A and B are shown apart, each in its own frame.
Chain A
Amino acid sequence: MQVVLLAIVTFIFAIDQFSLTEILYRPIIACPIIGLILGSPETGLVVGGTYELMMVGNMPVGGAQPPNAVLGGVVGVVLAVTANLPTEQALGAAIVFALFGQYAVTLTFTVMSGLMAKADKAAEEANPAGITQVNLISMCILGALFAVMAVLAYTGGQAMGETLQEFSAKFSWLMGGLGAAGGMMRNVGFAILLKIMLSNDLWGIYLAGFAAAAVLGNIPATAGACLILVAFIGVAIAINDFTLNLKIKENAGNGGVSDGI
């Protein structure tokens, strides 16, 4: 019974880290709930509060993936309750599971890149249900992978952590490769946008945008606001072009009449 509840709740937290409320998965909330399931809400509160403070310096910022918060917290509580480990030690032992949580995220994001073709097909057929399906599939994959990890931690305990550690060392090149490929895939997204937006006379504008971001993004004082500042420059260029073309249009209209002065 405990295992089933643990799996279901972890399934939900896994989805929540990217969708739903995006708040429930935080250790300070997730850990007490796991604690409650395992019959020791106090342990959950302590582990959750501690892990949340550790996480505050570790936000999902700018698309980068931190060591996974969900599995770190969930497994931390599981080990603290079932193996009676002190908080710090339980969280330490949970790190390897958190790493696998991150692997699960990488794997899902890679698989879903392939499934975008299914979404394209649904769009072509003007079929909203198809889009719903793609989103559901993605959430189920992520949730299931996380639930399995949580159950492994519950049944295998620390010994499972060691097994995973060995496995991870052996195949780290494969996960590293998926991560590296993941970093490149967004460029496919850019290429698709450019395929339609980039007319021949806009190549300079594209490179100018690249240059603006390269400069602003590498100065510590402006790096955080890089894209806002880039948008300011872009807006200036666009408004200038708009007013200029408007004037040309107006003058062309008058030009025909007043020709021959």
Chain B
Amino acid sequence: MASNATAYKDLTPAAPLDKKTLNRMVWRSCQLQASFNYERMQAAGWLWGILPGLQKIHTNKEDLSLSMEHNLEFFNTHPFLVTFVMGIVLSLEQQKADINTIRSVRVAAMGPLGGIGDALFWFALVPITAGITCNMAIDGSIVGPILYFVICFGVEMALRYFLMHWSYNLGTSAIGALTKNAKEFTRAASMLGVFVVGALTCNYGAISLGMMIPNGQALNDAGELVDNFINVQGLLDGVLPAALSLAVTMLCYWLIKKKNWSATKCIFLLLVIGVVGCAFGIWAGDYTSLVSVPWHK
């Protein structure tokens, strides 16, 4: 579990990372989602990606352990743009910034990149490239798939490389001005971080009820008599959108903070809630409930 220390033991800034190490982390960044999971998403892949840098920066074992622990917290961003976050975070780590500051900057940077990356890559580059190359493939030309790979992989790697070096230099040059007022900066960064986690709680919320309670019959627009249902999730959205995501986050926060539960224990609890809920047709989704109930078809 993450410890509560907020500063590194050795506060002397480390030597700047050399180009070779940065490039090595560009390649490692490809494995960002290697151990993707529902709880912390890309966390372990993220940590693995920046480990060469962290090992150079934190030469004593305690600091390396502290750094590894906080870099194993929830992480999710666009895989092709991740080196931007890497560069900034590494520049902060190198200056031995306050751990809360690093955490907050990391959280604030990862969220918005997801939307940008999807728009650039999955909505623009891939459909356009597919449009050009698919017909070549269907006509039996091997050039189609090769061209597709060269274009997409080329753009991906160029982005990873450029963003890593650009954001590392950006972070390094901006940091001097901020360390002078470190306490104020940490507070402001924490505010931004907490604000973004609040947004993620709503935006990443993926829990919804699937219960449709039969409620007699009603006339539809065409004047036919059809079965009427009460959509429980719809009612809940009327009270507060993403209410369940907020509620589950608060439940876990309470269990972890006040009851000293481990994350693994929370996950187990949620597994039981999820599976038992689907056995009784409570959660939304395309499945057949184990017990036949009136609110789930």
Q: What is A's interface to B at a CB cutoff of 8 Å? A: 15, 18-24, 26, 28-29, 32, 41-42, 45-46, 48-50, 52-53, 55-56, 59-63, 108-117, 119-120, 122-126, 128, 131-132, 134-139, 169, 172-199, 202, 205-214, 217-218, 224-228, 230-231, 233-235, 237-239, 241-242, 245-246, 249
> Which stretch of B168-176, B214-222, B223-231, B271-279 is in the interface?
B271-279
CA distance A49 to B130 in the complex (A): 8
* B48 close to A185 (CB less than 8 A): no
Interface: B158 (CB within 8 A):
no
Cβ contacts under 8 Å, A126 to chain B:
61-62, 64-65, 68
Complex CA–CA separation, A133 to B192 (angstroms): 34
Contact, CB under 8 Å: A193 / B74: yes
Question: Which residues of A sit under 8 angstroms from B276, Cβ to Cβ?
Answer: 177
Q: Is the CB of A23 within 8 A of B149?
A: yes
Residues A197 and B104 in contact in the complex (CB < 8 Å), given A19-B34, A230-B199: yes
State whether the Cβ of B11 lies closer than 8 Å to any Cβ in chain A.
no
Within 8 A of A (CB), among B194-246: 194-204, 206-207, 240-242, 245-246
Tell me which of A19, A196, A214 contacts B45 (CB under 8 A): A19
Q: How far is the CB of A107 from chain B (nearest CB, A)?
A: 11
* Chain B residues within an 8 Å CB radius of A182: 38, 206, 274
**Which of B114, B134, B253, B255 has the most chain A CB atoms inside 10 A of its CB?**
B134
Closest to B106 in A: A193
Query: A210 contacts which of B31, B69, B242, B274 (Cβ < 8 Å)?
Result: B242
In the complex, the answer to whether B274 meets A180 with C-beta atoms within 8 Å is yes
B31, closest chain A residue (CB)? A19
The reply to whether B137 and A179 contact each other, CB–CB distance below 8 Å, is no
B51: min CB distance to chain A, Å: 5
Interface string of B69-100 (1 = CB under 8 A from A): 10111101001100000000000000000001
Closest B residue by C-beta to A131 = B48
Given contacts A59-B123, A190-B197, A212-B199, contact A234 B38 (CB under 8 A): no
Per-residue CB contact flags for chain B residues 240-277 toward chain A (1 = under 8 Å, else 0) read: 11100110110011011100001110111011011111
Q: Is the interface of A mostly helix, strand, loop or mixed?
A: helix
- Answer whether A24 and B149 are a contact pair too, CB < 8 Å, given A123-B72, A209-B198: yes
Give the number of A-B contacts (CB < 8 Å). Answer: 427
CB neighbours (8 Å) of B274 from chain A are 177-184
B39 x A213 contact (CB < 8 A): no
Contact yes or no, A208 B266, CB < 8 A = no
* Distance of A93 from chain B, by nearest CB (Å): 19
A131-B198 contact, Cβ under 8 Å, with A45-B145, A227-B114: no
Contact A227 B203 (CB under 8 A): yes
Q: Within the assembled complex, what's the spacing in Å between the Cα atoms of A181 and B145?
A: 37
Shortest CB-to-CB span from A250 to chain B, Å, is 10
Contacting pair A45 B142 (CB below 8 A): yes
Q: For the side of the interface on B, what is the size category?
A: 35 or more
CB <8 Å contact, B142 and A234: no
Q: Contact between B35 and A172 (Cβ–Cβ < 8 Å)?
A: no
Residue in contact with B195 in the complex, picked from A139, A186, A205, A217, CB distance below 8 Å: A205
| Residue B10, interface by CB 8 Å | no
Partner of A116, one of B72, B188, B197, B248: B72
Q: Report B-chain residues with C-beta under 8 Å of the C-beta of A139.
A: 34-35
A56-B127, A234-B196 known; A227+B273 contact, CB < 8 A: no
Q: Say yes or no: B35 contacts A135, CB within 8 Å.
A: yes
Enumerate chain A residues within 8 angstroms of B34, measured Cβ to Cβ.
Answer: 15, 18-19, 135-136, 138-139
One of A109, A218, A237 near B38 (C-beta < 8 A): A109
**Judging by beta carbons under 8 Å apart, are B35 and A112 in contact?**
yes
Min CB distance B257 to A, Å, is 5
Minimal Cβ-Cβ distance residue in A for B51: A128
Q: Closest residue of chain A to B72, judged by CB?
A: A123
Contact: B74 with A192, CB < 8 Å?
Answer: yes
Decide if A233 touches B195 in the complex (CB within 8 Å).
yes
With contacts A23-B152, A205-B198 taken as known, whether A63 is within 8 angstroms of B76 at the C-beta atoms is: yes
The interface residues of chain A lying within 8 Å CB-to-CB of B33 are 18-19
Pick from A20, A136, A196: contact of B100, CB below 8 A.
A196
Docked complex Cα distance between A175 and B283 (Å): 12
Residue B13, interface by CB 8 Å: no
Task: Return 15 A-B CB contacts under 8 Å, by A number.
Answer: A29-B145, A46-B137, A52-B148, A116-B37, A119-B72, A173-B289, A182-B274, A206-B201, A210-B202, A212-B198, A224-B115, A227-B200, A231-B111, A238-B191, A242-B181
> A62-B114, A116-B44, A234-B108 known; A187 and B187 CB under 8 Å?
no
A211 shortest CB reach to chain B, Å: 8
Q: Which listed residue, A29, A185, A197, touches B197 by the CB 8 Å rule?
A: A197
Expressed in whole angstroms, the Cα–Cα distance for A188 and B245 within the complex equals 10
